[in-house]
Amino acid sequence: MFTPSHFTAVLLFALCASVVFGITMRETPQRMVRYGLYCFLLFVGSAIVLSWGMYLIAR
């Protein structure tokens, strides 16, 4: 059984979803890569920001 940490799961999820979003939502390879990176950073960044938000609310 694979038991990743929450952050590892976020990274894996963001990586796979970003690849699909990048390829399907843009037309040229360069724009695909840029949009994929943008989605990946948004996934991971929003997870970190929301995590800190919940941590501060819980204190």
Partner 1 sequence: MAATPNSPSTPKSAPQQGFVYLPLIVGWLVPGAGHFLVRKWGRGLLLALAILTMFVLGVAMQGKVYSSAHDILDILGLAGDLGSGLLYFVTRGLGLGADQVQVTTADYGTRFIVVAGLLNVIAAVDAHNLRTGRKPA
Binding-site ranges for partner 1 (CB under 8 A): 1-4, 6, 9, 12-13, 15-17, 19-21, 23-24, 27
CB 32 within 8 Å of CB 22: yes
Give how far Cα 29 sits from Cα of 23, 36, 37, 44, Å: 8, 10, 12, 23
Provide the 10 A C-beta neighbour count for residue 23.
Answer: 13
Smaller CB separation from partner 1, 4 or 53: 4
Q: Min. distance of Cβ 38 from partner 1 in angstroms?
A: 16
Q: Min. distance of Cβ 21 from partner 1 in angstroms?
A: 8
Q: Min. distance of Cβ 45 from partner 1 in angstroms?
A: 19
